[in-house]
Structure 1
Amino acid sequence: MADSSAPGMLKNYARTSALAVAWRSGASHWLAHRRPARRILMLHGVGTSQMSAADLHRVMAWLKQNYDIVAFDVMVRDILSGEPAPAGAGRSQLAITFDDGLCNQYRIAGPVLQQLEIPATIFVCPGLVDAGQWLWNHEARARLQRLSHAGLMECAQTLNSPAHHLEGVIAWMKTLSLTQRRHAQAILRDCTPGFMPTDAEHEAYDMMSWDEVRACDQGKLSIGSHTMTHPILPTLSEDEIEHELRDSRGRLEAELGRGVDLFCYPNGSEDERVRRIARSIYRAAVTTEEGTVSAGVDPIAIPRIPVTSHLPLLAWRMHRPWA
């Protein structure tokens, strides 16, 4: 019998080979720099198999060699003032952003960025810092991973989830209202009464403390707002959206002793109501929509490029962000 995975493997090999050729030939680099466009890179947790400390250092060193890395605040200023985007190798403007305010961003990314003298903005959820809690989806995923296949099926049925596999349950929970999602979290905790985080999970999911947040708001690093508790904003009422956005700014400003007017949508999820409220509170906001920053971009819905440790792919994404 033929291996049904062979066509997929062949396709992946061809793609990887094409990316490597574009990388070695300089085609990726030339295509990325041939027209003026700003870029904002998006990272989450580091120190993992997907992005080790060594990977991060290698990626950031390559970016510094090939781009003009500026603080996100500086880029926003230039965008709002109508400053034309510079073009050319070493001149194309780039900003680095991290979502969630994870402890590994302070302990692992911070030293790498400081060593290379690279500015970056970390978007933090102050309500989770106050409570010392994980992002709800991190906790839900870790608990679901503890269950056997039969246990996962039973828990999904108890939740009334239409999906009975791990990522499907998480995706379904993202569609729930705040009250419904909190109820689902309570059921999930009942399904996993003996849950204890592993050391690896603590390293991956623990949030920064306030001392660490303040330490990340010095020198070339800065803190932005990521809501109070990382909800999926379009599922909330307007009052709940207002609370999540305005209280997050106020709490961060009180702790940092300065204005905080840069924002990041949790999960990249937003709608007309969310944008309208965000526009009334913040100077600029980033999404998870993949793209470069073109002239005339809506400052409250700025696209970004997801980072990968695979440099040939990252180089191509600087030309085609959705690759």
Structure 2
Amino acid sequence: MKKKALWTIVILLLIELILVGVYFTKNTSQNKKLKTEESSILAKSSSREIKETTTTSETKPGEIDTTDWLTSDTDISFPILMYHSLTVSNDGNTLKLPPEEFKEQMEWLKENDYYTLTPEEAYIVLTENKKPKEKIVWITLDDGYLNNYTDGFPILKQLKLNATINYITSKQDNQYYFHQADMEKMKHSGLISIESHTVSHLDLNTLSDEQIHTELLDSKKWLDDTLKQQTSVICYPAGRYDDRVEKEAELTGYKLGLTTEPGYASKNDGLFALKRIRVSPGFDKESFGNYLTSSNQYANN
């Protein structure tokens, strides 16, 4: 009887050991499976993070994506349009253009599929010899007249065209020029760039080296600080410049210099001696288009 009871106990112990073994084997298998799944999830997550990081790093914030731009085997030249005051002239001043004519000309550019450049894009076109579209143009307005804001800005905004206004920084309190709040509103639209036309609008080639330095540096610093930007364009007052002015412009931190010399802009002339197309009053849509395209004859001069 005792022997039978002993065998019963042994059998029960063996069964218990078997059950315990099965339990631990099952748990071990599940743990391995869970760890494998966790490793797979972590690997996928890590892979996704790497991919996202790589994609993000290709184009930094504020950087222009030129992946789809057109490259050229020859130097690219293009028109830089030059405007001033957008108002009707009663004294024959050819620097004044009626807003209605400005609107028609902007409509012509839009209808004829012209891409309007920003200063940053113009710099890339000139230095890397590629462009965002087949037909490109850079619209510039000099001085910073109030009517550029009241009449010109609404037209550009309606047509979604980029333009650059070269501002005389000493005119901040002048009633005939737009002020800081106006330029901030235009800049925040994403369509208007505000660049330098010096502090006092003096003929730079007649000034001393020190005066040239002050005119270029002080206007750039004011625009940089006020608009939180890196001002890159200097537009020479009345188109007056010389070798000293070009050298000082580059040393001061500008990247491009605009003249009043007629013709298409090309890097062959130098980045600080870019030609422009002056637009005087009297052009309707058709004549403006003919004038713009025929002005290409100056590009290789």
TM-score, with normalisation over the residues of structure 2?
A: 0.65
In the alignment, what sits opposite 1:216? Answer: 186
Deviation at 1:231, TM superposition (A): 0.7
Report sequence identity in percent: 29
Aligned mates of 2:228, 2:267 — CA distance in 1: 33
Q: Does 1:122 align with 2:96?
A: no
Amino acid at match of 2:268: G
How many Å separate the matches in 2 of 1:72 and 1:260? 9
| 8 A contact 2:76–2:130 mirrored in 1 | no
- Once the 2 structures are TM-superposed, how far is the Cα of residue 63 of structure 1 from its aligned partner? 1.3
What is the one-letter code of the residue matched to 1:60? M
Runs of 4 or more above 6 Å deviation: none
Give 1:85 shift.
8.9
Trace 1:178-217 onto structure 2 (pairs within 5 A): 206-217=176-187
- Partner of 2:126: helix, strand, or coil? helix
Aligned partner letter, 1:246: L
User: Could you tell me which amino acid in structure 2 is paired with residue 231 of structure 1?
Assistant: L
Alignment of structure 1 residues 276-287 onto 2, 5 Å: 276-281=247-252, 282-287=254-259
Q: Indicate which of 108, 114, 123 corresponds to 1:76.
A: 123
Which residue does the alignment assign to 2:263? Answer: 291
CA distance in 2, matches of 1:64, 1:79: 23
Higher relative contact order (CA 8 A, sep 6+): 1
CA distance in 2, matches of 1:295, 1:247: 27
Structure 1 CA distance, aligned partners of 2:212 and 2:154? Answer: 34
Secondary structure of 1:51's match?
coil
Provide, for residues 252-305 of structure 1, a one-character-per-residue CA deviation record: whole Å limited to 9, x for no partner.
111101111111001011011111111212111111111012353411111110
Q: Which letter does structure 1 place at the counterpart of 2:261?
A: E
Q: Distance in 2 between matches of 1:302 and 1:223?
A: 18
Match of 2:232 in 1: 261
Q: For 1:88-134, what per-residue CA distance to the aligned partner results, in whole angstroms no more than 9, with x for missing partners?
A: xxx321110000011110111000000000000000111221xx24x
Decide whether the 8 Å contact of 1:263 with 1:286 is kept in 2.
yes
Please point out which of 32, 40, 59 is paired with 2:105. Answer: 59
Which residue pairs with 1:48 in the alignment? 88
Superposed displacement of residue 233, structure 1: 0.7
Aligned counterpart, 1:307: 279
What is the aligned-residue RMSD (CA, Å)? 2.2
Question: 2: distance between equivalents of 1:230 and 1:245?
Answer: 10
Task: Give the Å deviation of 1:73.
Answer: 2.4
**Aligned equivalents of 1:275 and 1:119: distance in 2?**
26
Using the TM superposition, give the Cα deviation of residue 210 of structure 1 relative to its aligned residue in structure 2, in angstroms: 1.2
What is the rounded CA distance, in whole Å, between the counterparts of 2:240 and 2:261 in structure 1? 9
Preserved contact between residue 71 and residue 121 of structure 1 (Cα < 8 Å): yes
Q: Which runs of 5+ in 1 are unaligned?
A: 1-34, 134-201
**Which shifted more, 290-299 or 230-239?**
290-299
CA contact (8 A) 1:225 1:262 kept: yes
